[in-house]
Structure 1
Amino acid sequence: MILANNKKAFFDYFVEDRFEAGIELVGSEVKSIKAGKTSIKEAFIRIINGEVFIMGMSVVPWAFGSTYNPDERRVRKLLLNKAEIKKLHEKVTQKGYTVVPLNVHLSKGFVKVDIAVARGKKNYDKRDSLAKKDQQRTMERDLKDNY
């Protein structure tokens, strides 16, 4: 079940490799995320000293939590194994590549985040994808009208 989605990532980047990572959460953050009170629109991922962190992810404090709720936009550690971190680091060191979060979802009761190694699109690539999407939409509309 997808809890938060980053639609802009597919518009701004060519997505290449995907990984599923766990998130290190504290306190009532899990309940808040399961309630759908999270956003990854402005989130980005950094690799620091062999560890992967997600920054800018917003998790609204749970309404029924204690007064010690964690900060809404705190830095959260992503849980990956060493081989995956090494693969991410090798790709990111190449020019033009970055790591972006795609969505936050539940997997067997655990909160996971899908991340991807992506290459940035140029403006003409974005116009091209908009044109393809528009063309697909008109084709589907014409098929619907014909039946």
Structure 2
Amino acid sequence: MQPHAPHHQDTEALVAQAVARLRVAGERITPARRDMLTVLAGSPEHLSADEVVSRMTDSRQTGTAHRTTVYRTLERFAAAGIVVHQRLPGGATGYHLRTDSHLHGHCVGCQAVVALPTEVLEEIAPARERMRAASGFEIDLHGSTLLGRCGDCRGR
């Protein structure tokens, strides 16, 4: 998947922030979990669970990261609000550390993923409120992906 700037920050600082949030959530901090956070923090891209397994295995001194454990831990991290589980068009699923609040724009032409500030959708606040009042459903802007075409693809 394509990188975008909000996910590329100081790796150590991102890991420390994620560890602190996990502790607040009452989660254990194991060496494998720290390795997983380091892999996620060190990548500006959204990583699939298989990519996390591969990168952890490449960087670990203790051998192979177990795929089932990685999947299960990524889901726990997502439930705790530590990572964002992003489903993108075409069936791709990616994970990244939750840092700032932003949306994802996915170009259906070239498959690029761009970060969009949530402010671009401030005008939909009244619609979000009506939706919540009518059905109880609330949109998670941080986990939202908007489909469209990037400037290059629109120009073709």
TM-score (norm 1): 0.29
Structure of greater Rg: 1
Give the helix-richer structure, 1 or 2: 2
